[in-house]
Structure 1
Amino acid sequence: MSLAQQWADARPKVAGLHFDSGACSRQSLAVIDAVAAHARHEAEVGGYVAAEAAAPVLEAGRAAIAALTGLDATDVVFTSGSNHSLDLLLGSWVGERTLACLPGEFGPNLAVMAANGFQVRALPVDGDGRIVVDEVARQFASGPPALVHFTALASHRGVAQPLAEMVAVCRAAGVPIVVDGAQAFGHLDCSIGADAIYSSSRKWLAGPRGVGFLAVRPELVARLQRRVPPVEWDVPVTVLQSFEHGEHNAAIRIGYSVALGEHLAAGPELVRARLAEVGRTARQVLADVPGWCVVEGVDEPTAITTLEPTDEADPVAVRAWLIAERGIVTTACELARAPFEMTKPLLRISPHVDTTAEDLEQFAEVLRDVP
């Protein structure tokens, strides 16, 4: 049985066409059942007892994240999602607050950087928004920032960044690199040993909403300062332990751990190859749809395809019409998504491994009929 069929069979039947995995993928029945089973166990024995019983599942989840990031399981903490992870990390940084990132940085990430008092400068990119690694190395030789924040795959453009090469440049310059893996994790190869990496559960890993992870190398942890409890309190709580301090939803962390296990069982390399195939097919099928221009090159190794309107089409209105009239879920990328790079709204599709060529051809036909 093909990977696409296995993935589809593991889930409830989709209502229409789901091309929105970059926002929120469809969970498997096993993930749904694991979340429900833990909630039931909490009702039977109490939340804290149930959480203790689930500790091995969560440790397996941390080990899976470690395997997919090139870090250790002891470097991994669960969070409520990507923005939460970035806020925890930047809020604990005690050094100079200068940071370099891509011009197309995700708007909410920029807001977190500003809220934590970071001065941001743009990294050099080419016309496709891809980092120019050699130029970065030259810039860092004369004046490196305190931190690099690197979004390996943007949410408004399906361009895969040269992640391993960028990590190598930062390591040579002695600049810690924090990787936003929200779109890349489970989609591209993230096992590159970054100083820190974070992501959400709900996107390409197809776990529950409201959970994510942050993984930080010990060398970078040593440069952070605990915020809660206050550092002057003499209590045996490490920085990473403090990141998991407080209330959380244990059930969805368990669901995420199950989704991570499913991803490893499917074969991360096979998943990446299939996603690249889906993206290539999507760009070929959509290339000639009147009124829209495919932004990415056809062989970009991602499943994210963005469409720029060439007439007066409004992606927000088109998205709403597609859902209401045809049961097709896409994303409208507005300017706030990448405020320093985008010049007009885009329509994005982000299909997963179960999407067929027939599904994409159906979408192309419907897109031709949008009023």
Structure 2
Amino acid sequence: MTMDIAALRRDTPACASFVHFNNAGASLPPAVVVDTVVEHLRREAAVGGYEAQAEAAARLEAVYGSVARLIGADPGEIALIENATRAWDMAFYSLRFGPGDRILTAQAEYASNYIAFLQVARRTGAEIVPVPSDESGAVSLSELDRLLDERVKLIAITHVPTNGGLINPAEAIGRRARAAGVPFLLDACQSVGQMPVDVEAIGCDMLSATGRKYLRGPRGTGFLYVRRALLERLEPPFLDLHAARWTAPDRYEVRPDARRFESWEGYIAGRLGLGAAIDYALGLGLPAIRDRVVALAERLRARLAEFPGVTVRDVGAERCGIVTFTRAGEDAAAVKARLGAQAIHVSVSTAAGTLLDFEARGIPDLVRASVHCYNDEPEIDRFVAALASG
């Protein structure tokens, strides 16, 4: 499929003002997302919040279908949550661990997830076991095979880590999890929206994602997928009158679908915007988005590799739209500030985000430039020229 880049950029008016290579942080939303959110907020102002929600009931319900189509799930397996971390937390803290139970994770696991592991390990006596990386930097499947025994109660992996550009082998991990009968929690925060993600093909039992990154949705939105076969075994760490029904003075019933992980109050305008963002991405086609993103990222890596003093730090046999690098004699924050002064947006990754990975690689910080399908080749040229100007 050939993408109409000019049309994509017209749908993203801010492209005319700056170069946005911070899509793994928060992408620029297309106009339809902005219009959807603003129009609903205006409607709330005109008729009231509850009344505007009632008017939008069918459209809100359709968002569950859009999320389900995006990842190959059933709408009843989808919960709309305010962000990916909270979605991940709701799944993780629903699981039960005891002394000696093992949680297998990755060397490049994200700090928010790992801190949750540490808290649960401290409370329960469970053990956290990072699976060593292979020679490419991804989760080693042979090491996973070695570690996967009866003590393992969860495999929790980030699909696309926050730094390094790699894509972990989620499908191969999923096959092993299914064969061992171990639940598999996939953090898809930075993969959903930039590539096809199919929960059936992957074989994960739970998946968390955000709206603001590659989906190009509003901040304050995200979702959780929980496989129906696992749903009845999981009671969320907290409940309200939306997640459960108070049936008697001393009893309650948890609702049967994934919405047991939601709370009653939600960002209605944002949810509608999330649905608009997903429908926009589905209209473009996730394979086409992936191909465009990968091509731009490889072009950027190639240009950076030619630059004196710059080292591209990406790892993995399969890489995505996240490009990371260091520049000799200039720390990442200084590079970010200098590019920002020239209307070019990047972000900085530090050990605070992926401590084990940074310590293993001996890197203090990285510049992270993350491209999306609406970016173009002249922006890469402008980026490299700006980097050279310092």
Is the contact between residue 22 and residue 304 of structure 1 (CA under 8 Å) also seen in structure 2?
A: yes
Residues in 1 aligned to 2:38 and 2:240: alpha-carbon distance in whole angstroms: 32
Q: Which moved more, 1:251-260 or 1:213-222?
A: 213-222
Structure 2 counterpart of 1:158, from 165, 181, 185? 165
Pairing 1:358–2:378 present: yes
Residues in 2 aligned to 1:149 and 1:261: alpha-carbon distance in whole angstroms: 28
Pairing 1:93–2:95 present: yes
Pairing 1:319–2:336 present: yes
**Cα distance change, pair 297–126 in 1 and its aligned pair in 2 (3 A):** closer
TM-score relative to the length of structure 1: 0.93
Structure 2 counterpart of 1:294, from 312, 326, 331? 312
**Cα distance change, pair 358–297 in 1 and its aligned pair in 2 (3 A):** farther
Structure 2 counterpart of 1:178, from 185, 199, 202? 185
Measured after TM superposition, the shift of residue 281 of structure 1 is 0.9
Task: Tell me the equivalent position of 1:280.
Answer: 298
**AA of the residue aligned to 2:20:** H
Is the contact between residue 86 and residue 112 of structure 1 (CA under 8 Å) also seen in structure 2?
A: no
**AA of the residue aligned to 1:37:** E
TM-score relative to the length of structure 2: 0.88
Measured after TM superposition, the shift of residue 318 of structure 1 is 1.3
Structure 2 counterpart of 1:214, from 193, 218, 224? 224
Is the contact between residue 324 and residue 369 of structure 2 (CA under 8 Å) also seen in structure 1?
A: yes
Q: Provide, for residues 272-322 of structure 1, a one-character-per-residue CA deviation record: whole Å limited to 9, x for no partner.
A: 11111111111111111122111236984411111033x221101211221
Pairing 1:252–2:270 present: yes
**Cα distance change, pair 336–128 in 1 and its aligned pair in 2 (3 A):** farther
**AA of the residue aligned to 2:22:** D
Aligned ranges 1:46-195 → 2 under 5 Å? 46-96=48-98, 98-117=102-121, 119-140=127-148, 142-193=149-200, 194-195=204-205
Task: Tell me the equivalent position of 1:331.
Answer: 347
SS in 1 for 2:208: strand
Q: Which moved more, 1:31-40 or 1:89-98?
A: 89-98
Q: Provide, for residues 343-363 of structure 1, a one-character-per-residue CA deviation record: whole Å limited to 9, x for no partner.
A: 320001001112222211221
Gaps of 5+ in 1: none
Q: Provide, for residues 218-242 of structure 1, a one-character-per-residue CA deviation record: whole Å limited to 9, x for no partner.
A: 2222221243249995234327333
Gaps of 5+ in 2: none
Residues in 2 aligned to 1:210 and 1:229: alpha-carbon distance in whole angstroms: 20
Residues in 2 aligned to 1:283 and 1:291: alpha-carbon distance in whole angstroms: 14
Q: What value does the CA root-mean-square deviation take over the aligned residues?
A: 2.1
Pairing 1:45–2:65 present: no
Is the contact between residue 3 and residue 353 of structure 1 (CA under 8 Å) also seen in structure 2?
A: no
SS in 1 for 2:128: strand
**AA of the residue aligned to 2:139:** I
Pairing 1:368–2:388 present: yes
Is the contact between residue 3 and residue 284 of structure 2 (CA under 8 Å) also seen in structure 1?
A: no
**AA of the residue aligned to 1:250:** I
Residues in 2 aligned to 1:137 and 1:297: alpha-carbon distance in whole angstroms: 22
Residues in 2 aligned to 1:267 and 1:5: alpha-carbon distance in whole angstroms: 17
Residues in 1 aligned to 2:342 and 2:136: alpha-carbon distance in whole angstroms: 32
